[in-house]
Amino acid sequence: MTEPDRRRDNLVSNTPPAPYATDGTDFRGALRYHYVVALKKFLKFFPVFLLLWIQLFVFKLDYLLPVGIIGFLGAMWTLMIFGSRMIRVSKCWRIFRVYPLEFRTPVEKYGMESTHTLYLRFGDQGGTPFTLRASNTMLRGRWPAGITDGVWYAGDEPFGGAFIVPGGGELLFQQPKDWAEAEEYRNSAGLERIEKAGRAGIKRPAHFK
């Protein structure tokens, strides 16, 4: 691992305390908050880029073309980011509907990708037999503060899950890092667990990009 990789893997979020309970009693508050944050971030930038794009057609001046292109690209990028955030929060919502929250500790950090993906394992109950990957619903490329002390988790590790980090209240979606590596654990899970995974939308691998 290079020195820049080590520095990136040690990045910790300075997120302030969440405005909702993060003790496993209020997953609805977490979902509402992250939906609202995603919408606010979208409304902060999208109208500006949209105006830059539209003014090109209103004034029809050739020298405004570069500004119009910036507006178009910015609007499309903002839409993509907003859609990605909403999809991740929706995935967590489906999981919380099916699985109860339970406290898991400790959490072992294994690495981070620049694509806002964290690699980790749960150290309780003999330890996770395979590495998990988790994606922050707000696409933050940092480790949530205090994550190694434990999280409130809902799901089934070989299929996937969602968890809330106490304190900052970060919401993350999780699935095995290597879907094929966890295949034997899914095959031996039993019909009830497989059926629950289907209802929670984690029976198949999700795209983390």
Backbone angles phi, psi at 80, to 5 degrees: -65, -45
Q: What single string gives the DSSP state of each residue in 130-143?
A: S-EEEEETT---SB
Signed CA dihedral, 66, 78, 39, 83: sign only: positive
pLDDT of residue 171: 95
pLDDT of residue 3: 45
Q: What single-letter amino acid sits at 87?
A: I
Q: What single-letter amino acid sits at 37?
A: V
Q: What is the mean pLDDT of each run of 10 residues along the chain (209 residues)?
A: 52 82 94 96 95 87 86 95 94 97 93 84 77 89 90 96 95 94 92 96 84
CA distance 130 to 121: 7
Signed CA dihedral, 144, 150, 154, 159: sign only: positive
Residues 6+ apart with CB under 8 A from 77: none
Q: Residue 86 CB: number of other CB atoms within 10 A?
A: 16
pLDDT of residue 94: 97
Residue of 10, 7, 33 lying closest to 165 (CA atoms): 33
Q: From residue 169, how far is each of 23, 45, 136 by CA, in Å?
A: 9, 24, 11
